[in-house]
Amino acid sequence: MIAALIVYAAGVLLALWRTDASWPIRIAMAILWPIGPLAFIVTVSILLAASVIAFPLFGAGVAVAGVLAWWVLR
């Protein structure tokens, strides 16, 4: 937890220092900066889930990999 707080504080300081905007915008960017990486993770997850449906061969490969992983790890 301490490491996460250190990373967050570093992001806040970096946003306050490097953002080219007025102070209210700088403060908002400093507080909300973790939303960017979180949005990236959510977007990539949704695209991967959609690719399983949109590309049947890829979906079959994922299904086979899942069955093999279940068989090996059971």
Per-residue pLDDT in tens (0 to 9) along the chain, 74 residues? 889 889 888 888 888 888 788 888 888 888 887 888 889 999 999 999 999 999 999 999 999 999 999 999 99
Q: What is the pLDDT of residue 56?
A: 93
Range of the domain at 7: 1-33
Instruction: Give the total residue count for the chain.
Output: 74
- The pTM score is 0.56
Q: What is the pLDDT of residue 50?
A: 95
Q: What is the pLDDT of residue 71?
A: 97
CA distance linking residue 49 with residue 12, whole number of Å? 32
Residues 73, 53, single domain; the answer is yes
Residues 26, 49, single domain; the answer is no
User: CA distances (Å), 19 to each of 13, 27, 42, 55, 68, in order?
Assistant: 10, 9, 25, 41, 48
Count up the domains in the chain and report the number: 2
